[in-house]
Structures are given as C-alpha cells and as structure tokens.
Structure 1
Amino acid sequence: MSTILLLTLSNIFMTFAWYGHLKFFHDKPLWATILLSWGIAFFEYCLMVPANRYGFGKFTGYELKIMQEVITLVVFVAFAWLVLGEKLKWNYAVSLACLALAAWFAFGVNRPPAPAA
C-alpha cells in the first residue's frame, strides 16, 4: 500500500510540474516556468524513487511501470477536470477503459493467487 500511496503523491507533484503552468504560470517567461517545474519535480522524485524501491520485489518492474502509468492517468483526469476545467469526452473515457483493461491483463493474468490466511 505504501508503494501505491507514494506513487499517487509523486504523480500529483509531477502533474503540477508538467501541466500546472498552463493554468497558473502561463504569463511567466518560459525559463522561469521551467525552473519552477524542476523545483516541483524534485519532490516527485523524492517520492517516486522510494515508491519503486519499496515496491520492487512485491511487484515486477513491468508492474510498477504499468501501475505508475495508470495512477498518472487517474491523477491527470482529476487535474484536467478540477484545475483546467476540461470535460472527459467519450473517446477519452474509452481510451482510459482500454488502459484499465491493459492493467488488468498485467496484474490479473498469470499472477499466482495470494496465499490463504
């Protein structure tokens, strides 16, 4: 659970580093926006690296990456809706459903069942 929490928090920081300037700093010079984004991304790395270190072994490298991408998309959908004021169109929803199916394949197929308690 700590891996998922750390990945979620890191993705919140990264989403603001990559897209927050579109709403909050669009009137600043590009060089200042880049430096500010780097500063925000520092905190993303401070969370992402431990998330992957703690998660590796419980999850494979592939699973960690797929999990990170799914979390990134969930965080971005919330960000786009709440911060950027964008609606989720049907084609984006279908695309996200396809990615959810991909995550199901990654985690559900050929994974041994959890041991009984």
Structure 2
Amino acid sequence: VYMPSLVAEIGAVVEEHMKSIGLIHDPEMSAHQKALIAEKRKQFEERAKKKNEVTPAAVAVTGTQEDIAVTGDGTSFPPSATMCHKCSTKALVIMDGCATCLNCGYSKCG
C-alpha cells in the first residue's frame, strides 16, 4: 500500500497494531446502510438487465467458482464492476455519475 509520507506510514502501522490488539474496531454498517446498499444493487442490476438484454458468451460463462474467488462469499457482482480500494472486493460500479461500492457502501461522492 502506497503511503504519501513517513508520518502517514507510521500512523497506518499504529492503527493496524491497535486494531490487532482490540483497541480499535472497524465500524459496522447499520441496518439503514445495508438496506440502502441492497436497494442500490437492485437498481443497478435492473439497469444492467435493460441495457444488456443479450449477454455476451464470455460473461455468461462466469460460474460460482469465479464468484467465490472474486467476492469471497459466492455473491456475484456485475461483471463491469471494478475493485473497491476500501473493502478490496470487485464491486465498485458507477451509479448516477458516482463510483459506489455494492459491497461496503463506499461512495466517492460522499
């Protein structure tokens, strides 16, 4: 992981250590955030179905093994999704002109 300065790298090491000993916990998503992500995922999938009524053969070949390899839990994300730098899952899509992660809820626009 690239760190822009020595101070940032020291901070990242201290933060990682504090997480490993249990002083800092990663924030959990609330039920509202999970519902919003599910709604956005559904909207994106509906748009993708309308846009791509005929799926290319290369995309249709994706199977359960590839889904598990990409997302880790067998849930599939759109083939056009890119890697999210926050959760390291291939679930980042462009929705309403804004990069949004369908897995963790990260949004470049806020």
Given the two structures, how large is their TM-score scaled by the length of structure 1? 0.29
Higher strand residue share: 2
Higher helix residue share: 1
Given the two structures, how large is their TM-score scaled by the length of structure 2? 0.30
